[in-house]
Amino acid sequence: MGLKEKVFKKSLWLFHLSAGSCNNCDIEILDCLTPRFDVERFGMKLVGSVRHADVILVTGIVTKKTKKRVLEIYKQAPKPVLVVAFGSCSCTGGIFAEGYNFEGPLDKVIPVDAYIPGCPPKPEAILAGIVKLLNK
Amino acid sequence: MVKELFYFLVFPGLLFSAVIGGFLSWFDRKITARVQFRQGPPLLQPLYDFLKLLLVKETILPKRGSQLTFLLAPVFALFGATMAAVFILLPAFGIATGFAGDIIVVIYLLNIPSVSYILGALAAGNPLANVGASREMKLILSYEAPFLLVLLMVVIKAGMVISFSEIVAYQQANGAFIGSVSGVIGFIVLMMCIQAKLALVPFDMPEGEGEISDGITIEYSGTPYSLIFLAKYIMLFVLPALVVSLLMSGLPLQGWHILWSVLKILLIVLLITLVRNTNPRVKIRQAMRFFWVWMNLLALIAVILAIFGL
């Protein structure tokens, strides 16, 4: 493993993008920063600006309204950037898969590096997904 | 010439203060984590963050805005922080350089990073960055006056000398200034000013990540952002060193004194971290009132006490 790859994996900064979610996944993301789960020991932290992001966590289904915005956010992020489909909605569409405003699962819109299913995913599942992302 | 370059680039300039500052940044994050009963990041985390931004990430320039200013602002910030490190740390370590009046140069040098952040933010052409820049300006306007008053107090106590090495030497001969009433009051005011200079909670409104998403650094990515990180690491070491050399008799490097020097710096950073972990962010209006009314009042009292020799 080269130096570049190593420092990238040791300091992943998370940017949280809510495409059209019910806020359940968003609350679970914040759970990961709490004392019990603490993702900062892997060097991760939440950042406020997409220009600092290394990982974009997309929650919720991509709707007709938000598809344009999701693409724009993805273009604004400095490469290399990893995309995580977070929760059942962004992985497959979940219970909204038949909805009139559903624009397809996230990997039809932007390339996805990891999927974390669940409605919402448990913090343990999120940590397992993060470990898979680190070992990829 | 070689000696000056060595001072600037290696010790106590860029390399040394960046390494110590990176360690202090880890210390700050680790203490924060322990206060919140978390595990905290590993020791090399500041190095990973810096190298990732420097080597891996892409640099994006703003389409609307001045790209040259945007790129040069972090370089100026790093330069100002490094020069301040050289001018503050050499007298603090007891290396006899400097000239009469270097304390006035340091006042200006310590402002260069903040002013550069403002320039870079205004050149980014982002509305949120502009809000952050205007807040940073107001913050500078509020903390400068008490900061200057505390410096005046120190100068009066040291017998009207305006040179760092003489102030440090005076304290090593006659006891640290913090042992007096005016010294304690000055210490409180100076700690608050430093908290604002470092833009840490409760005075972190220039980069409040909840409301204006990192404010002044919102458009920075890649290499320029890594330079801003480096400047911030250096400032996290330089400003505690300033407090120690103004009020706590410097950082002598002979024998057992090294242990005391390390403990003094760690104590100041610990205080900064605890203040930042136990307070909410205040509004800019509240911060201005806090500095202009209360901190100025305290600093004035300290100056008057110093004139009467207390």
Please write down the HEC assignment for all residues of chain B. CHHHHHHHHCCCCHHHHHHHHHHHHHHHHHHHHHHCCCCCCCCCHHHHHHHHHHHHCCCCCCCCCCHHHHHHHHHHHHHHHHHHHHHHHHHHCCCCCCCCCHHHHHHHHHHHHHHHHHHHHHHCCCHHHHHHHHHHHHHHHHHHHHHHHHHHHHHHHCCCCCCHHHHHHHHHHHCCHHHCHHHHHHHHHHHHHHHHHCCCCCCCHHHCCCCCCCHHHCCCCHHHHHHHHHHHHHHHHHHHHHHHHHHCCCCCCCCCHHHHHHHHHHHHHHHHHHHHHCCCCCCHHHHHHHHHHHHHHHHHHHHHHHHCCC
Name every chain A residue with its beta carbon within 8 A of the beta carbon of B213: 48-49
Around Cβ B146, how many Cβ atoms within 10 Å?
A: 26
Q: Name the B residues in 58-97 with CB < 8 Å from any A CB.
A: 58-60
Instruction: Tell whether B49 lies on the interface with A, counting CB pairs under 8 A.
Output: yes
pLDDT digits (tens, 9 = 90+) for A118-130: 888 888 888 888 8
Contact B222, B57 (CB under 8 A): yes
pLDDT digits (tens, 9 = 90+) for B247-265: 888 787 877 788 888 898 9
pLDDT digits (tens, 9 = 90+) for B60-115: 888 887 888 888 999 999 999 999 988 888 888 877 666 777 888 888 989 899 99
Whether the per-residue pLDDT at B23 is higher than 90: the answer is: yes
Shortest distance, CA B172 to any CA of chain A (angstroms): 42
Token readout for B206 is: 């220039």
Contact B234, B21 (CB under 8 A): yes
User: Hey, where are the domains in chain A?
Assistant: 3-135
pLDDT digits (tens, 9 = 90+) for A7-42: 888 888 888 888 878 888 888 888 888 888 888 888
Instruction: Tell whether A11 lies on the interface with B, counting CB pairs under 8 A.
Output: yes
Name every chain B residue with its beta carbon within 8 A of the beta carbon of A43: 41-42, 45, 48-49
Name every chain A residue with its beta carbon within 8 A of the beta carbon of B57: 54, 78-80
The pTM for the full model equals 0.89
CATH 3.20.20.150 given to domain A3-135: no
Q: Determine the pLDDT at residue B98.
A: 63
Whether the per-residue pLDDT at B213 is higher than 80: the answer is: no
Name every chain A residue with its beta carbon within 8 A of the beta carbon of B59: 78
- Enclosing H/E stretch for A48: none
Q: Determine the pLDDT at residue B269.
A: 92
Closest chain A residue to B45, measured at CA: A43
Instruction: Tell whether A7 lies on the interface with B, counting CB pairs under 8 A.
Output: yes
Distance CA B259, CA B240 (A): 16
Please tell me whether the interface predicted TM-score (ipTM) of this complex is above 0.90.
Answer: no
Token readout for B28 is: 């700050």
pLDDT digits (tens, 9 = 90+) for B129-147: 888 888 889 989 899 999 9
Instruction: Tell whether A30 lies on the interface with B, counting CB pairs under 8 A.
Output: no
Whether the per-residue pLDDT at B24 is higher than 90: the answer is: yes
Q: What is the mean pLDDT of chain B?
A: 87
CA dist B120 to B70, B74, B126, B130, Å? 5, 7, 11, 10
Name every chain B residue with its beta carbon within 8 A of the beta carbon of A4: 55-56
Q: Greater confidence, B215 or B123?
A: B123
Distance CA A33, CA A40 (A): 7
Instruction: Tell whether A35 lies on the interface with B, counting CB pairs under 8 A.
Output: yes
Distance CA B31, CA B25 (A): 10
Choosing among A1, A5, A11, A75, which should be mutated to test the B contact, i.e. which has the most B CBs within 10 A?
A11
Going by C-alpha positions, the residue among A54, A9, A42, A69 that lies closest to residue A126 is A42
Average pLDDT rounded to a whole number, residues A44-57? 86
DSSP state of A83: E
Shortest distance, CA A6 to any CA of chain B (angstroms): 8
Distance CA B303, CA B23 (A): 35
The verdict on a CB contact (< 8 Å) between B218 and A7 is no
User: Hey, where are the domains in chain B?
Assistant: 2-307
pLDDT digits (tens, 9 = 90+) for A67-94: 888 899 898 888 888 898 888 888 888 8
The sheet carrying A45-46 orders its strands as: A45-46, A13-20, A55-60, A82-86, A114-116
Instruction: Tell whether B219 lies on the interface with A, counting CB pairs under 8 A.
Output: yes
The verdict on a CB contact (< 8 Å) between B37 and A79 is no
SS3 A84: strand
Distance CA B140, CA B136 (A): 6
Contact B241, B251 (CB under 8 A): yes
Q: Determine the pLDDT at residue B256.
A: 79
* A114 DSSP β-pair partners: A84
The verdict on a CB contact (< 8 Å) between A35 and B209 is no
Whether the per-residue pLDDT at A1 is higher than 70: the answer is: no
Instruction: Tell whether B281 lies on the interface with A, counting CB pairs under 8 A.
Output: no
Q: Tell me phi and psi for residue B279, to 5 degrees.
A: -130, 150
Q: Determine the pLDDT at residue B2.
A: 82
Going by C-alpha positions, the residue among A20, A14, A5, A18 that lies closest to residue A93 is A20
Interacting residues of A3 by C-beta distance below 8 A, sequence separation 6+: B51, B55
Going by C-alpha positions, the residue among B19, B86, B17, B27 that lies closest to residue B266 is B27
What DSSP line would sit under A7-35, residue for residue?
HHHH-PEEEEEEEE--SHHHHHHHHTTST
Instruction: Tell whether A3 lies on the interface with B, counting CB pairs under 8 A.
Output: yes
Token readout for B112 is: 């260069």
